[in-house]
Amino acid sequence: MSSSRSVRKLEVVSPVPADIDIANSVEPFHISEIAKDLNLSSNHYDLYGKYKAKVLLSVLDELQRSEDGYYVVVGGITPTPLGEGKSTTTVGLCQALGAFLDKKVVTCLRQPSQGPTFGIKGGAAGGGYSQVIPMDEFNLHLTGDIHAITAANNLLAAAIDTRIFHESSQSDKALFNRLCPPNKEGKRKFSDIMFRRLKKLGISKTQPEDLTPEEVKKFARLDIDPNSITWRRVMDVNDRFLRKITVGQGPEEKGMVRETGFDISVASEIMAVLALTTSLADMRERLGKMVIGNSKAGDPITADDLGVGGALTVLMKDAINPTLMQTLEGTPVLVHAGPFANIAHGNSSIVADKIALKLVGPGGFVVTEAGFGADIGTEKFMNIKCRYSGLIPQCAIIVATIRALKMHGGGPEVVAGKPLDHAYVNENVSLVEAGCVNLARHIANTKAYGVNVVVAVNKFSTDTEAEMNVVRNAALAAGAYDAVICTHHAHGGKGAVDLGVAVQRACENVKQPLKYLYPLDISIKEKIEAIARSYGASGVEYTEQAEKQIEMYSRQGFSGLPICMAKTQYSFSHTASEKGAPSGFILPIRDVRASIGAGFIYPLVGTMSTMPGLPTRPCFYEIDLDTTTGKVIGLS
């Protein structure tokens, strides 16, 4: 084992204590120690306290000629509502690679929303002896990226309603004169951002006074159709009462009332932009291209049309730098971006992965997690994230649990907060065997991308040898490169050493180039149908609204974008209760929307809530501060 690395030996206790107790029992290394292990000097990062640092994008420029390490994505089978431990497996694997197998490794994770932290799910730092620490800082404000997204999102929302308000009460000339006011010498000039709108309109003039009255009207009047506005306000709290609201009820707003609503901050398109951007310049372009709705003539209106693209970039300039943290065993973690896994693509950022791949170098490993089951997270990782990044993974992990396979084999319903049925805590080999159809389809789908697939069985204390043998045999029969039993929750990196060895072999022996599920130059419908077939659907049906939106986006020139399906994570199909590997169903597309700045079209399969609610007894009942030590207690 390399003595120069910041490796921490864990004192493992059985039974496994609460996550926060484990996290609080370990004194993290100063983050500069973790940075030093990655050969980062102090001018490569900005410190945020003792245990977090923002890694600057200049690192990428310095290392652009360096070779990349191996690239591994962690997905899962179709989960129960309890989750199957993808984050925990991602962290445990990296602890094994770094602390036990002496590999250079970086874990790349999404930043969790505070909504679930105080709501139902709790935090997302992994669990047991495979966690990111400090766990409370990871799950709460971190380095303020989500707050920056909230501020930028809501600045754009304010700009939209204000522009409609001012256009409603002013003539074209008055509007133009206010947008281009005279300076002290009486000269009018366009601000730099206005040239973007002029170029879009095909107006090449550079002086305001040269515009004809018709050009003045085209330039100054966006004529936003209030019914077409898709941009909503956001906050990082689960607040169901903000799902539908009315704005403009103040007397000064002169009756400019409209219905809108709030989403949770991680559902903002700006979060998806942060996750998919490749540089500061690219982020500026993406933020400016975000479409907020249409004009009454049916033309898309962008953030740059509203003159706010530059200001949004200023608010996001620090958020583009990934945050460096550490695992319980002292291996490095980059935490960056946390887009929704249904209406967005559910993966951490491209820039974090790119930086990490350069830092670990040849023979090193970057392990990143894709949200939800592999039908959603891994599919979007391959067809959206890898398309924009140009990066090629060598290995995809599919995390499975015996309990989830039993559920897919016909076991009773699993409900969060209720004790597990007898079938899940006692041996039942036939249920596990029947449920392996779900695992087999995920393996076949993932293998089709040209990567080697390793199945990680996340072991619970009630799982038996016979049950685990069934899963291993089924995985290999379905085409997995390997299938490994893991105990990283109970034992830390030591419990994932076999997985680490399997992943290394899988990466070293990959034979095929990356193959996408669909090309970009086919129609929106053909792309949707290719994804639907991977779910097991025999066809797709579209509502009138979906047809209308597809026709509009195609007309507006957006049909070349990848597809990001917004579908339940609890089934291959659109019906959450359909477990196993359903086939022959017709996938219904209720609506189709677009995140043009982020760069994808997202069809809605059923109803998607973009603002969660709180349960009767939220997680916040447990959360408090030990006022003597200053430590957070009760975070899960």
Give the model's pLDDT for residue 121: 67
- Taking the C-alpha atoms of residue 592 and residue 332, their distance in angstroms, rounded to an integer, is 39
* Residue 25, domain CATH: 3.40.50.300
Is 174 among the domain residues?
Answer: yes
Tell which of 257, 282, 308 closes a domain: 308
Token pair, residue 103, equals 């590999």
Tell which of 265, 280, 308 closes a domain: 308
* Residue 241, domain CATH: 3.30.1510.10
Token pair, residue 224, equals 């936003």
Give the model's pLDDT for residue 3: 41
Burial string for 250-268 (b: 16+ CB within 10 Å, else e) reads eeeeeebeeebebbbbbbb
Is 634 among the domain residues?
Answer: no
- Domain span at residue 286 reads 146-308
Tell which of 287, 308, 329 closes a domain: 308
Neighbours of 534 (CB within 10 A): 19
Q: Are 149 and 340 in contact (CB under 8 A)?
A: no
359 CA to centre of own chain:
22
Whether 157 and 300 map to the same domain: the answer is: yes
Q: Which residues of the chain have pLDDT under 70?
A: 1-4, 121-123
Three-state secondary-structure class, residue 591: strand
Whether 139 and 153 map to the same domain: the answer is: no
Is 561 among the domain residues?
Answer: yes
Give the model's pLDDT for residue 4: 54
Whether 447 and 367 map to the same domain: the answer is: yes
Give the model's pLDDT for residue 416: 81
Residue 233's alpha-carbon distances to 3, 147, 173, 496, in angstroms, are: 50, 13, 31, 42
- Taking the C-alpha atoms of residue 480 and residue 475, their distance in angstroms, rounded to an integer, is 5
Closest CA to 38 of 322, 360, 350: 360
Is 390 among the domain residues?
Answer: yes
* Residue 570, domain CATH: 3.10.410.10
Whether 126 and 197 map to the same domain: the answer is: no
Whether 357 and 408 map to the same domain: the answer is: yes
Q: Which residue has the tokens 């209106």?
A: 301
Is 292 among the domain residues?
Answer: yes
Whether 391 and 242 map to the same domain: the answer is: no
Give the model's pLDDT for residue 383: 98
Whether 150 and 137 map to the same domain: the answer is: no
Whether 423 and 559 map to the same domain: the answer is: no
Q: Which residues pair with 593 in a beta bridge?
A: 602
Is 563 among the domain residues?
Answer: yes
251: Cβ contacts below 8 Å, ≥ 6 apart: none
Is 334 among the domain residues?
Answer: yes
Give the model's pLDDT for residue 120: 75
Q: How many domains is the chain built from?
A: 3
Contacts 24+ apart (CB under 8 A), 587-591: 587/532, 587/535, 587/537, 587/539, 587/540, 587/541, 588/540, 588/541, 588/542, 588/543, 589/528, 589/540, 589/541, 589/542, 589/543, 589/546, 590/543, 590/545, 590/546, 591/543, 591/545, 591/546, 591/549
Three-state secondary-structure class, residue 539: strand
Three-state secondary-structure class, residue 601: strand
Whether 198 and 302 map to the same domain: the answer is: yes
Whether 328 and 396 map to the same domain: the answer is: yes
Whether 416 and 280 map to the same domain: the answer is: no
Whether 333 and 425 map to the same domain: the answer is: yes
Is 496 among the domain residues?
Answer: yes
Give the model's pLDDT for residue 76: 97
Token pair, residue 575, equals 């019906």
